[in-house]
Amino acid sequence: MNGKPKQKNNLPKFNLYWLYAILIISLVFMLFRGNFGEGGFDKEVPYTTFKEYVAKGYAKSVTVNKSDGIARFIVAPAHIRDVFHQGSDDVGTAPTVSSKVPSVDKVEDFLSVAYKGSVSYEESSHFWLNLLGSTFPFLILILFYFWMFRGVNGGGGGSGGSGGIFNVGKSKARLFEKGAGLHVTFADVAGQESAKEEVQEIVEFLKNPSKYTELGGKIPKGALLVGPPGTGKTLLAKAVAGEAHVPFFSLSGSDFVEMFVGVGASRVRDLFRQAKEKAPCIIFIDEIDAVGRARGKNASFGGNDERENTLNQLLTEMDGFGTNSGVIILAATNRVDILDKALLRAGRFDRQIHVDLPDLPERIAIFKVHLRPLKYDPSLDIELLARQTPGFSGADIANVCNEAALIAARHDHITVTRQDFLDAVDRIIGGLEKKNKVMTEAEKRTIAIHEAGHASVSWLLRYANPLVKVTIVPRGQALGAAWYLPEERTITTREQMLDEICATLGGRAAEELVTGHISSGALNDLETVTKRSYGMVAYLGMSDELSNLCYYDTQEYNFTKPYSEKTAEKIDAEVHKLVNEQYARAKQLLMDNKEKHAALAQLLIEREVIFTEDVERIFGPRPWKSRADVLLEEEQQAKQKTVQVPTDNVSMTPPAIPACPSAQSISAPLEQNAAEEAPQDEKPASVLPPEIPTVAAEDDQNSETTNEQPHE
């Protein structure tokens, strides 16, 4: 990128296995040095002792080296103990005895008289061999220490390090050359259109940089993908790797940290060194919170924190004194709140791309992607599946499709049917169905009354979630459950929260009214009600005594409360008052509809599972439409208006402008308040639902309405 030709290092790389082989050979050489051919032990003795051993017949064969003036004989196996005072197991099967002789002529004269065996004479000298044998081990040790310190210095200093000793400082990033080996494109990423558009712009800049540079723009140095688990952050990164057509480095945040000090910083340097050699390229760091946690949040008792050193090196490489042009950083995390502020600043991560949970249209698109490999019923209503899975992430939807295929195969179905998908949703949310669980008639009746209470109260409340089905078949840890269709709201009003609390308390209220006692089956209901009521009072300021006040503590470690003991007493009193009011309200609704609740409970005992149609047959249709129904109706009306435009004037007629809201829709909140004060049996003639419901409480609503606590 700086215009200078890159110099390639053509020197052959040193293989660590060669060093191991040399060390092993050296050890063997040191152990058996001096006995190359025979593999025995050598004993050096004076010349007089040498002649004495030969005269006694201890020699098996004699060798005389004329150049060195050394005579050596192999000891006969029968006399090994006489010479060495040890057995052959200790000195070998062919030990030798050597001696420096006065002259070769005297040795020849002596051997011709005293030795009748074979005698051989050598002219070569073993001086260099002996010298090598004595110095070779020391040379190996010197080379080993030189290599080790060279490796440590190479891994610890400078960006051109070689990875350190044993390559522990070498980056673990996987390199994908121009999408090779990846088969993921942006077509495989459904929903998340805004996030996909942001990422596609980075890819477009790499493909066509002149389009932006002509206007004076610069490519973003980094983009951080933020969102809950399973929303598709890593999938977006894979799509970038598949379509960018530039080198793509992929690794996890935990790949930087090791047990050795300094390894994390060394790996960061090595990663960016490789990236600069491949520039322009993209580096993707998944779960960057493993290394990018804010400094000081996890206090270290030691004098040096390895993770902080790694983070400091990462900050320097991303935007330090030397800028890395052509290297783009992509990172993903679901804990952006704990990341270091220096990591999030502009110049390092110029963009934060939020990848949130998909809404209804996005879930429809995600279902279509995951239904491609499935052999499903053509009449399958994908919109119904999307409405049945509020709060589901892309990974959850993929799991639903796979689970539906497994259920269909278990039942020997030819195609995956609608019921298979509904069973899969129930299986994922509620757990495994336990049809064989033994219950007494009294327990079954109590559970039916409890679940019928939930269904009855929620049906009679305007802002309660629409009912899907009620079951008393044990599933997971629950003995029964009422399944609702939580509305995806942007904001939630006080009236909506109160209706949800009242519907949650409907089960215990029904038990007390009908059976005269209460059970442990409402444990999860009470937990949900307590948390929601406390949030309304302490966080949202939705109480009379503590209105417009928020006592939410933003600190990571809540060692102290952000309010006084007197305020805590007021919060407890307000929460107690709020819950008691809604509990009394639920009991009053059940008493006003006592016969209908009893009929619903009896039907539930007989059939074990009832659906919306059964509740509507007993209570009558609800006078209010859900927010999802209203949105779909408005969308269909807009499509119909577009279709009604004359075809011959399409090119001349401007597109239809949506109608302004009528006075009736503007006055909807007033009509809503009036409808709340009206008795439940009076149906307002024309009341539109509120335009402000919530996504934030989806998960809580889902868990509290589908996972009832088992009765004890």
Q: Residues 280-309: pLDDT tens digits?
A: 888 999 999 888 888 775 455 443 477 788
Angle at CA of residue 247, ends 243 and 248, nearest 5°: 75
Does the annotation flag 305 for ligand binding?
A: no
Does the annotation flag 525 for ligand binding?
A: yes
| Exposed e or buried b per residue across 600-624, where buried means at least 16 C-beta atoms within 10 angstroms of its C-beta | bbebbbeeeebebebbeebbeebeb
Q: How confident is the model at residue 537 (pLDDT cuts 50, 70, 90)?
A: very high
Q: Which pLDDT value is given to residue 400?
A: 95
| Token pair for 228 | 């809950």
Residue 122's beta-bridge partner residues?
A: 65
Backbone angles phi, psi at 429, to 5 degrees: -80, -50
Nearest of 499, 492, 664 to residue 586 by alpha carbon: 499
DSSP code, position 376: B
Nearest of 623, 588, 596, 592 to residue 455 by alpha carbon: 596
71: left (phi over 0), alpha (psi -120 to 50) or beta: beta
Q: How confident is the model at residue 174 (pLDDT cuts 50, 70, 90)?
A: confident
Across 697-701, average pLDDT: 37
User: Is the pLDDT at 163 greater than 60, yes or no?
Assistant: no
Question: What is the C-alpha to C-alpha distance for residues 497 and 590, in angstroms, rounded to an integer?
Answer: 19
Q: Which pLDDT value is given to residue 330?
A: 92
DSSP code, position 253: G
Q: How far is CA 338 from the centre of its chain?
A: 16
Does the annotation flag 454 for ligand binding?
A: yes
Classify 694 as helix, strand or coil.
Answer: strand
Residue 316 vs residue 624, higher pLDDT = 316
Nearest of 477, 402, 467, 498 to residue 434 by alpha carbon: 477
Classify 73 as helix, strand or coil.
Answer: strand
Q: How many other β-carbons are positioned within 10 Å of the β-carbon of residue 121?
A: 13
Q: Which pLDDT value is given to residue 38?
A: 45
| Token pair for 371 | 């239904």
Average pLDDT along the chain: 77
Does the annotation flag 79 for ligand binding?
A: no
User: Is the pLDDT at 152 greater than 60, yes or no?
Assistant: no
Does the annotation flag 450 for ligand binding?
A: yes
Question: What is the C-alpha to C-alpha distance for residues 344 and 353, in angstroms, rounded to an integer?
Answer: 12
Does the annotation flag 230 for ligand binding?
A: yes
Distances (CA, A) of 684 to 442, 495, 624, 668, 687: 40, 18, 9, 12, 6
Q: Which pLDDT value is given to residue 478?
A: 73
Q: Which pLDDT value is given to residue 155?
A: 44
| Token pair for 197 | 């558009």
Does the annotation flag 440 for ligand binding?
A: no
Residues 500 and 701 sit within 8 Å (Cβ to Cβ): yes
Residue 270 vs residue 639, higher pLDDT = 270
User: Of 3-12, 385-394, 651-660, 668-677, where does the model show the most confidence?
Assistant: 385-394
Backbone angles phi, psi at 375, to 5 degrees: -100, 90
Does the annotation flag 51 for ligand binding?
A: no
At which residue do the structure tokens 């030990």 appear? Answer: 95
Nearest of 380, 458, 461, 387 to residue 631 by alpha carbon: 387
Residues labelled as active-site residues: 451
Query: Does the CA dihedral 624-627-629-633 come out positive or negative?
Result: positive
pTM comes to 0.63
At which residue do the structure tokens 């609503």 appear? Answer: 701
Q: How confident is the model at residue 706 (pLDDT cuts 50, 70, 90)?
A: very low
User: Is the pLDDT at 1 greater than 70, yes or no?
Assistant: no
Does the annotation flag 232 for ligand binding?
A: yes
